[in-house]
Amino acid sequence: DTEVTQTPKHLVMGMTNKKSLKCEQHMGHRAMYWYKQKAKKPPELMFVYSYEKLSINESVPSRFSPECPNSSLLNLHLHALQPEDSALYLCASSHPTRAGEWNTEAFFGQGTRLTVV
């Protein structure tokens, strides 16, 4: 099973709402990632969790709050978003080699299409 599952597939939220995106994988991967992709642009890294600890935050605004409750689950909590935050949010996972190198294949979910109104 090489599947990364993201829910919901589509989300429309107002600027005062609080919502969460969910990502799940059962491949035993110990790194999970959030990427943001605007229309006609490539994905850009937001956060990396390595062994359930936040290891990279690419200077993302605090209205985006990631959480990694366990090694299979990754959440992205959203609060007070702006219309320009509308995008496709992609989750990915990967796993280090026995030597501890992060050079293995990354697997992506189908994304959550977020629209902020």
Partner 1 sequence: KQEVTQIPAALSVPEGENLVLNCSFTDSAIYNLQWFRQDPGKGLTSLLLIQSSQREQTSGRLNASLDKSSGRSTLYIAASQPGDSATYLCAVNGGSQGNLIFGKGTKLSVKP
* Binding-site member from 11, 21, 43, 68 for partner 1 (CB under 8 A): 43
Q: Is 26 among the residues that bind partner 1 (CB under 8 A)? A: no
Whether the CB-CB separation of 113 and 9 falls below 8 Å is answered with yes
For 57, the token pair is 């935050």
* Nearest-approach distance from CB 33 to partner 1, in angstroms: 6
Cα distance between residue 68 and residue 57, in whole Å = 13
Task: Map the footprint of partner 1 across residues 58-87, applying CB under 8 A.
Answer: none
User: How big is the site for partner 1, counted in residues (CB under 8 A)?
Assistant: 29
Name beta bridge partners: 6.
Answer: 23
Cα distance between residue 85 and residue 28, in whole Å = 31
Cα distance between residue 57 and residue 108, in whole Å = 19
Q: Is 20 among the residues that bind partner 1 (CB under 8 A)? A: no
Residues at the contact surface with partner 1, assessed by CB under 8 A: 6, 31, 33, 41-45, 48, 50, 55-56, 88, 90, 92, 94, 96, 101-111, 113
